[in-house]
């Protein structure tokens, strides 16, 4: 599953196309999340620019189609330090090997292990960084602590990349490494719930997919018998989720009769 996460990552270039500024990641067929300060740096404009820029952003998918340069436009622009979230929309078709990554709203990731893929200075091909989530701050951001064995420190080139949670086995947010003028130091994860609040449109395909699944599940359950024999292999239902069936407890007299039969070795 982490391969799908890696395949969704984009590398955002400067307006001249010569240097890598940071990252973003695909969450629908044409939409990406990134940090506002990364997009501002790529366009060469102040990070506190209030109006959304109209210039094209240049990017590629380095893990699946390196060098295949694409363009995108700003769809959502949240430049405040408390948010620092931008949604980009591709204006050129992505490679066929590219697929959006699923995101998860996780309630508590404290002390979970994470993996992130970003672009430190002079590392255009990208590097992994690993570590653990720390306690969530009042702002809702979650500090990221790099491990001693991390292949790379978490620098500004990781901003905008998705955060892969090893325990949840899913993307649970987006990395942000604030710039020095912001007064906030360190690396953080902006959790998925804050991304959804900034751009509620992302919820629509998720809700639609859930609605379709629940309708299909309800239809299948309506055709099932009222009672499942204990030997029934529930996986034969071919449901996209695993169903755990717990049989009802035996009545005391039946349980005692079975125990006595087992002790005597008599079969009926």
Question: Could you tell me the domains of the chain?
Answer: 2-90 (2.40.10.10), 113-199 (2.40.10.10), 204-264 (no CATH)
Largest CA distance in the chain: 85
Ramachandran assignment for 39, one of left (phi > 0), alpha (psi -120 to 50 degrees), beta (any other):
alpha
Compute how many other C-beta atoms are within 10 angstroms of the C-beta atom of residue 198.
17
* Average pLDDT for 49-67: 95
What percentage of residues in the chain have a pLDDT greater than 70? Answer: 79
The helix/strand/coil state of 142 is: strand
What's the angle, vertex CA 191, arms to CA 33 and CA 102, rounded to 5?
60
| Per-residue model confidence as pLDDT tens digits over 85-141 | 999 999 999 998 898 998 999 989 999 999 999 999 888 999 999 999 999 999 999
User: Which residue did the predictor score with more confidence, 82 or 12?
Assistant: 12
- 218 pLDDT tier (thresholds 50, 70, 90): confident
**What residues pair up with 175 in beta bridges, in sequence order?**
189
For the cut 50, the answer to whether the pLDDT of residue 242 exceeds it is: no
- 255 pLDDT tier (thresholds 50, 70, 90): low
pTM reported for the whole predicted model: 0.76
Q: Is the Cβ–Cβ distance between 176 and 84 less than 8 Å?
A: yes
List all residues 6 or more positions away from 27 whose beta carbon is below 8 Å from its beta carbon: 8, 33, 100, 101, 103, 202
Residue listed under structure tokens 């005692």 = 256
* Average pLDDT for 171-178: 96
Polymer length of the chain = 268
For the cut 60, the answer to whether the pLDDT of residue 205 exceeds it is: yes
pLDDT at 244: 37
For the cut 70, the answer to whether the pLDDT of residue 261 exceeds it is: no
Read off the DSSP letter of residue 43: H
CA–CA distance, 259 with 206 (Å, rounded to integer): 50
- 81 pLDDT tier (thresholds 50, 70, 90): confident
């Amino acid at each position: 599953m982490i391969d799908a996460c890696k395949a969704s990552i984009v590398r955002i270039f400067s307006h001249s196309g010569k240097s890598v500024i940071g990252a973003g990641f695909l969450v629908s067929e044409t939409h990406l999340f990134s940090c506002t300060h990364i997009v501002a740096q790529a366009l060469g404009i102040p990070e506190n620019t209030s109006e959304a820029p109209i210039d094209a952003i240049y990017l590629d998918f380095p893990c699946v189609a390196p060098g295949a340069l694409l363009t995108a436009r700003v769809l959502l622009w949240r430049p405040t330090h408390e948010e620092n979230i931008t949604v980009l929309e591709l204006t050129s078709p992505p490679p066929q090997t590219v697929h959006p990554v699923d995101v998860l709203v996780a309630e508590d990731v404290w002390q979970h292990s994470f993996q992130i893929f970003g672009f430190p200075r002079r590392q255009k091909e990208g590097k992994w960084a690993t570590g653990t989530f720390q306690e969530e701050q009042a702002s809702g951001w979650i500090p990221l602590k790099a491990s001693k064995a991390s292949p790379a420190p978490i620098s500004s080139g990781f901003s905008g990349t998705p955060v892969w949670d090893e325990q949840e086995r899913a993307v649970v947010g987006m990395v942000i490494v604030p710039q020095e003028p912001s007064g906030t130091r360190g690396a953080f994860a902006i959790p998925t719930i804050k991304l959804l609040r900034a751009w509620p449109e992302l919820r629509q395909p998720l809700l639609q997919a859930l609605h379709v699944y629940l309708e299909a599940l309800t239809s299948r359950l309506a055709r099932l018998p009222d009672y499942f024999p204990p030997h029934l292999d529930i996986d034969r239902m071919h449901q996209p989720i695993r169903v755990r069936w717990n049989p009802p407890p035996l009545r005391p007299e039946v349980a005692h009769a079975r125990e006595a039969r087992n002790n005597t070795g008599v079969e009926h």
